[in-house]
Amino acid sequence: MTSFEKRAMSIKPAKQMDVAFEVEAALAFHDEDAKATIATLLGDIKHLRMQLALAEAAMSHGMTRGWTPTFDREVERAGQD
């Protein structure tokens, strides 16, 4: 079993995932092409924002007990504590 398979099988919350591993995996998926990796990630962001907007429009305020989704998050820069 490869180290990638071992990591894929381990169950960890998303916050505990190794960011460096995720970056390397994304780059490897795109044959180390950073621009292609960024383009894919930006496309994913655009798609997910659209899905969030559709979900927000479809759900009632009462269904979520006043909670509304946010489109932006607090940015944590890699390498900063």
* Segments making up each domain of the chain, as ranges: 3-58
Q: Sorting pLDDT into bands at 50, 70 and 90, what band is 67?
A: confident
CA atoms within 13 A on the CB side of 27: 9
User: 1-57 pLDDT, tens per residue?
Assistant: 666 556 655 555 555 568 888 899 999 999 999 999 999 999 999 999 999 888 888
Q: What is the pTM of this model?
A: 0.58
The Cα 21–Cα 28 span in angstroms is: 10
For residues 70 and 3, give the distance between their C-alpha atoms in angstroms, rounded to a whole number: 36
**Other C-beta atoms within 10 Å of 60: how many?**
6
pLDDT confidence of residue 57: 82
CA distance 47 to 53: 10
pLDDT tier at 81, thresholds 50, 70, 90: very low
